[in-house]
Amino acid sequence: MPYMTTGKENSGNIDLYYEDHGSGQPVVLIHGYPLSGASWEKQIGALLAAGHRVITYDRRGFGRSSQPTIGYNYDTFAEDLRKLVTQLELRDLVLIGFSMGGGEVARYLGKYGSNGVSKAVFISAVPPFLLKTPDNPEGVDGSVFEGMQKSIAKDRYAFFGEFFKNFYNTDLLLGKRVSDQTVQASWNVAAGASATACLASVPTWHEDFRKDLTRVDVPTLVIQGDADRIVPIGASGLRTAKLVKGARLLVVKDGPHCITWTHADEVNSELVNFLR
């Protein structure tokens, strides 16, 4: 599948790998950390079967995309997405972001507006504002993010080993809703990501998207598990659903962070119905 050039670092191009399948209303799926567009495999088939054109891409630094040492901020991530949308001449598109990918959805709509976008979906997503501050007491203490950065810098492979336990809530769901092999496959993708990207992405998770969300004026769906250990639902999904006027909220009972895998049937049913 093709690549799209979004910029340069010194003598090398910064290329994003993307896949473009099917026909019908276009749906752009934006993956979470530290995975790639391939992490949407349980949604791609369902959306294609429902008559959609499905586009996935790998964020810079991850998957099969280039691994530059620059551009790890949401203005640049949103600009990369904008270039993809423009190059593919997408109209009436749906933006769906999982986890970190929800930041692209929020910043894209906040920066470029909703012209050409018909709907938005946030799944286990980082908006509106994860960092605890005086005016954001529901957020997560900054020491949590600092600790993650220290662990990644020390030994990112060991960090990912622990990270995916909470990504899938393996203590409760291993052998039931997720297999050892799936967890290992996720670790493999993470291990192949850029070391720079793995570290530089962490501070972006507590970007303040509150102003961006005030500009969201398209039908919006928010989905999150109530047992999410990576992005606490009280600091994220519940608040996003309140900040976006008319947003529809689905709380997945006992759902971990990666409900797109562990609770795929429930997520897919809700997505297809919402897009219909």
Q: Print the domain residue range for 240.
A: 3-275
The band of 234, judged by pLDDT with boundaries at 50, 70 and 90, is very high
Q: Can you tell me which residue has the tokens 């192949």?
A: 192
Q: What pLDDT, in 10s, does the model give residues 185-199?
A: 999 999 999 999 999
Percentage of residues in the chain with pLDDT exceeding 90? 99
Q: What percent of the chain has pLDDT over 70?
A: 100
C-alpha to C-alpha distance for 178 and 180, rounded to whole angstroms: 7
Mean pLDDT of all residues in the chain?
Answer: 97
Q: What is the mean pLDDT of residues 131-153?
A: 96
Per-residue pLDDT for 21 more than 90? yes
Active site residue 257: yes
Specify the DSSP element, H or E, that contains 9.
strand 3-9
Give the mean pLDDT of 106-121.
98
What is the number of domains present in the chain? 1
- Residue 1 pLDDT: 67
Cβ contact 36:187 at 8 Å: no
Average pLDDT over residues 114-133: 98
- Pick the catalytic residue from 31, 52, 206, 257: 257
The CATH number for 191's domain is: 3.40.50.1820
Write down the pTM of the prediction.
0.98
Are the C-beta atoms of 58 and 37 separated by less than 8 Å? yes
Amino acid at 42: K
Is 206 among the catalytic positions?
Answer: no
The catalytic position among 58, 80, 212, 228 is 228
141 is catalytic: no
Residues in the chain: 276
DSSP code string of 177-192: TB-HHHHHHHHHHHHT
**Count of CB atoms within 10 A of residue 141's CB?**
10
Range 258-261, long-range pairs (CB < 8 A, 24+ positions): 258/32, 258/124, 258/167, 258/168, 258/178, 259/123, 259/124, 259/223, 259/224, 259/225, 260/39, 260/40, 260/42, 260/43, 260/98, 260/123, 260/124, 261/39, 261/42, 261/168, 261/177, 261/178, 261/182
Q: What is the pLDDT of residue 251?
A: 98
pLDDT at 22 over 70: yes
Residue 161 has pLDDT above 90, yes or no: yes
In this prediction, residues 10-37 reach a mean pLDDT of 98
Q: Is a pLDDT exceeding 70 seen at residue 250? A: yes
Q: What is the pLDDT of residue 25?
A: 98
From CA 96, how far away is CA 220, in angstroms rounded?
A: 10
- Of 39, 65, 99, 236, the catalytic one is 99
Confidence of residue 70 (pLDDT cuts 50, 70, 90): very high
Question: How far is it, in rounded angstroms, from Cα 190 to Cα 158?
Answer: 11
pLDDT at 2 over 70: yes
pLDDT for 89 equals: 97
